[in-house]
């Protein structure tokens, strides 16, 4: 029997925690977050979900790979943001695709795309379905004949490996574990580990400019992409494999972050590397978050380039078990497949010490792997977070994250203002709750802060509550000079703030680009720009 993914949340159907587990979690929340939560609720079973009759019927030639089954339509109705899961948990499916296609080959992708566009449908490219910004929800307006979601996950192969150049050609539907397993057979790794790693796909990472493992230098998938192939309604778009180029505007950079509005990404050449064999890690304590931030700023401006440089504020250390709640913790790591990483770690720790950091290094049998317990527990918590959120939702806890980036000169005021405005909104909307912050990535000119909200929701009012808090957070980010997203993408949820952020003439240019290759405005309407429908 094949395991089925939950139609409403993260992971597989058989992974739902027991009522006893949930009650234990409720006790932990009371203890660590200081607010009481209710009895666990059960998700509405799929059998009780009613969806509208499909408005489209796939042609006979495509029926084998197309489905109008309720499970498939519900599974592809939403991403995995808080409001997605809340709605699905409660059996509410606002916009289900009419047809879900699971092509197995690129010609099948092309056939589905051409049929759907000709039928006047909206087309939603779908990878892992892990969007937290409404990127895959067919909320497309009434002017389409229906919505066809193209799930790429059957295109999951590493097709070619170039050991000399350290590059691999990989199909867009390959998930993190799927492509890593295939690369591991060759002693190679992509080392792109977003939080959604377990389910998200290479194509999705490229379409959304996903942020990954490396805290510095190779922060986004952008930096690992050598060339991309996509299908637009007007034909294929495939760039040359090049290590670098200055031939006009980069074709790859126009697909990176295109969020499905220009084409369906089918494969890419990406830069891979030997698996790291040398690692050093450490946990450095600071009196508070801003003290840690000043150390991280100094570190970011050395050329030491730590692979991990995640500064966690005291509130967040407490909940994730990475600290005692009284200090900020910097999780610092270096890794290499060929070079000694100790000199860089030493130099980095010197910088931390100069900025008031305190640490204890243990050097054990695994040379230079000091501090691995903290790193290990951090990583474990990191990858478990999406599962945890499902449980929190079952317990009625509002659980939301938002992330951004801003320059160092503005950071302190930015952090203060975002914290104050969002905390006020949490208190106002939920009565109480917790806001915490960490850095996920850092640059010489600024950090990428990532905020987590945990607060008691009122049953039945979760969406309205989320909406008010999300608006306060997004307003604060944009008013403070940040980006509406450093690596979660824009989707439909961030559109109002994205529209305030991006240059107006750029938006016109992007809409012009879209109209040129997608004249009927079929691809992922509502995302990034308003489609100009012609054709």
If you compute the radius of gyration of the chain from its CA atoms, what whole number of angstroms results?
Answer: 23
Burial of 326 (C-beta count, 10 Å sphere; 0-12/13-18/19+): exposed
- Both tokens of 388, joined, read 């945890």
For the CB of residue 135, give the shortest distance to its own copies in the complex, in Å.
11
The per-residue b/e assignment along 347-366, b for 16 or more CB within 10 angstroms, e otherwise, is: ebbebbeebebebeeeeeee
Q: Which is nearer to its own copies, 198 or 307 (CB)?
A: 307
- Both tokens of 190, joined, read 């992509």
**Nearest alpha-carbon partner for 336 in 369, 300, 361, 311:** 369
- Counting every residue, how long is the chain? 535
Which one among 338, 364, 365, 460 touches its own copies, defined by CB under 8 A? 338
Which one among 2, 20, 248, 460 touches its own copies, defined by CB under 8 A? 248
Q: How far are the Cα atoms of 283, 296, 302, 362, 452 from residue 357, in angstroms, in the given order?
A: 10, 10, 17, 16, 24
For the CB of residue 110, give the shortest distance to its own copies in the complex, in Å.
13
Q: Which is nearer to its own copies, 102 or 487 (CB)?
A: 487
**Nearest alpha-carbon partner for 436 in 349, 315, 535, 319:** 315
Which one among 157, 377, 423, 501 touches its own copies, defined by CB under 8 A? 501
For the CB of residue 301, give the shortest distance to its own copies in the complex, in Å.
6
For the CB of residue 17, give the shortest distance to its own copies in the complex, in Å.
32
* Binding flag, residue 355, its own copies (CB under 8 A): no
* Binding flag, residue 164, its own copies (CB under 8 A): yes
* Binding flag, residue 364, its own copies (CB under 8 A): no
Read off the DSSP letter of residue 155.
Answer: -
Cβ(520)–Cβ(435) below 8 Å: no
Which one among 114, 245, 277, 353 touches its own copies, defined by CB under 8 A? 245
Cα–Cα distance measured from residue 184 to residue 26, given in angstroms and rounded to the nearest whole number:
39
* Binding flag, residue 490, its own copies (CB under 8 A): yes
Subset of 400-439 contacting its own copies (CB under 8 A): 405-409
Q: Which is nearer to its own copies, 224 or 430 (CB)?
A: 224
Task: Report the sign of the C-alpha dihedral through residues 36, 37, 38, 40, in that order.
Answer: negative
Subset of 180-219 contacting its own copies (CB under 8 A): 208-211, 217, 219
For the CB of residue 447, give the shortest distance to its own copies in the complex, in Å.
7
3-state secondary structure of 147: strand
Burial of 305 (C-beta count, 10 Å sphere; 0-12/13-18/19+): middle
* Binding flag, residue 174, its own copies (CB under 8 A): no
User: x/- contact string, 440-479, with its own copies (CB under 8 A)?
Assistant: -x-xxxxxx-------------------------------
**Nearest alpha-carbon partner for 330 in 373, 284, 267, 389:** 284
Subset of 264-303 contacting its own copies (CB under 8 A): 271, 273, 297, 301-303
* Binding flag, residue 256, its own copies (CB under 8 A): yes
Total site size for its own copies, rule CB under 8 A: 96
Q: Which is nearer to its own copies, 185 or 504 (CB)?
A: 504
- Both tokens of 203, joined, read 């194509």
Q: Which stretch in 196-204, 314-322, 418-426, 513-521 sits in contact with its own copies by CB under 8 A? A: 513-521
Q: If you write DSSP's letter for every residue of 325-388 in order, what string do you get?
A: SSSEEEEEEEEESSS--HHHHHHHHHHHHHTT-EE-----SSTT-TTHHHHHHHHHHHHHHHHH
Cα–Cα distance measured from residue 242 to residue 252, given in angstroms and rounded to the nearest whole number:
11
Give residues with Cβ within 8 angstroms of 300, minimum separation 6. 216, 309, 442, 443, 444, 447
Q: Which stretch in 38-46, 72-80, 254-262, 317-325 sits in contact with its own copies by CB under 8 A? A: 254-262
Q: Which is nearer to its own copies, 33 or 478 (CB)?
A: 478
The number of CA neighbours under 13 Å toward the Cβ of 353 is 10
For the CB of residue 200, give the shortest distance to its own copies in the complex, in Å.
14
Beta bridge partners of 263: none
Pairing of strands 446-456, 397-403: antiparallel
Q: Which stretch in 248-256, 285-293, 321-329, 428-436 sits in contact with its own copies by CB under 8 A? A: 248-256
- Both tokens of 39, joined, read 């009895």
Q: Which stretch in 56-64, 149-157, 246-254, 319-327 sits in contact with its own copies by CB under 8 A? A: 246-254
Which one among 107, 236, 321, 431 touches its own copies, defined by CB under 8 A? 236
* Binding flag, residue 534, its own copies (CB under 8 A): no
Q: Which is nearer to its own copies, 91 or 519 (CB)?
A: 519
* Binding flag, residue 505, its own copies (CB under 8 A): yes
* Binding flag, residue 162, its own copies (CB under 8 A): yes
For the CB of residue 3, give the shortest distance to its own copies in the complex, in Å.
31
Subset of 31-90 contacting its own copies (CB under 8 A): none
Cα–Cα distance measured from residue 326 to residue 328, given in angstroms and rounded to the nearest whole number:
7
Q: Which is nearer to its own copies, 194 or 433 (CB)?
A: 194
Q: Which is nearer to its own copies, 13 or 162 (CB)?
A: 162
């Amino acid at each position: 029997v094949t395991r089925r993914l939950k139609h409403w949340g993260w992971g597989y159907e058989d992974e739902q925690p027991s009522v006893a587990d949930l009650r234990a979690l409720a006790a932990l929340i009371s203890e660590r977050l200081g607010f009481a939560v209710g009895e666990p609720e059960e998700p509405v079973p799929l059998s009780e979900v009613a969806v509208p009759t499909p408005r489209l019927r796939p042609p006979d030639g495509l029926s084998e790979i197309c489905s109008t089954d309720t499970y498939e339509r519900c599974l592809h109705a939403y991403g995995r943001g808080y409001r997605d899961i809340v709605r699905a948990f409660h059996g509410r499916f606002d916009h289900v695709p009419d047809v879900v296609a699971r092509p197995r080959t690129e010609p099948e992708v092309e056939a589905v795309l051409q049929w759907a566009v000709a039928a006047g449908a909206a087309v939603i490219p779908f990878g892992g379905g892990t969007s937290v910004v409404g990127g895959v929800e067919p909320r497309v307006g009434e002017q389409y004949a229906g919505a066809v979601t193209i799930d790429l996950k059957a295109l999951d192969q590493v097709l070619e490996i170039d050991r000399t150049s350290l590059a691999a050609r990989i199909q867009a539907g390959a998930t993190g574990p799927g492509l890593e397993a295939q690369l591991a057979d060759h002693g190679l790794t992509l080392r792109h580990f977003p939080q959604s790693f377990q389910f998200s796909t290479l194509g999705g990472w490229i379409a959304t400019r996903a942020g990954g493992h490396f805290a510095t230098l190779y922060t986004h998938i952008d930096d690992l992409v050598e060339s991309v192939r996509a299908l637009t309604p007007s034909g294929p778009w495939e760039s040359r494999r090049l290590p670098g180029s200055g031939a006009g505007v980069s074709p790859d950079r126009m697909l990176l972050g295109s969020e499905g509005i220009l084409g369906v990404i089918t494969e890419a050449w990406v830069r891979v590397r030997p698996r790291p064999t040398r690692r050093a890690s450490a946990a450095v304590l600071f009196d508070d978050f801003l003290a840690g931030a000043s150390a991280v700023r100094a570190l970011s401006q050395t050329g030491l380039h730590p692979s991990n440089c995640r500064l966690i504020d005291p509130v967040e250390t407490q909940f994730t078990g990475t600290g005692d709640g009284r200090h900020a913790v910097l999780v610092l790591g270096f890794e290499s497949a060929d070079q000694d990483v100790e000199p860089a770690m030493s130099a980095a720790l010197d910088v931390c010490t100069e900025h008031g950091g305190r640490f204890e290094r243990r050097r054990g049998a695994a040379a230079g792997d000091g501090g691995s317990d903290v790193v290990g527990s951090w990583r474990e918590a990191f990858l478990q977070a999406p599962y945890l959120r499902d449980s929190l939702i079952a317990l009625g806890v509002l659980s939301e994250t938002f992330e951004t980036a801003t320059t160092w000169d503005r950071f302190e005021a930015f952090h203060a203002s975002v914290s104050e405005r969002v905390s006020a909104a949490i208190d106002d909307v939920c009565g109480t709750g917790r806001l915490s912050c960490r850095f996920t990535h850092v640059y010489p000119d600024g950090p990428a802060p990532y905020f987590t909200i945990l607060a008691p929701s009122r049953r039945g009012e979760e969406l309205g509550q989320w909406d008010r808090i999300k608006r306060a957070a997004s307003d604060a980010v944009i008013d403070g000079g940040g980006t509406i997203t450093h690596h979660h993408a824009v989707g439909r949820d961030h559109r109002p703030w994205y529209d305030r952020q991006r240059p107006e003439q750029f938006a016109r240019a992007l809409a012009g680009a879209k109209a040129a290759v997608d004249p009927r405005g079929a691809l992922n309407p509502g995302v990034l720009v308003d489609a100009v429908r012609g054709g």
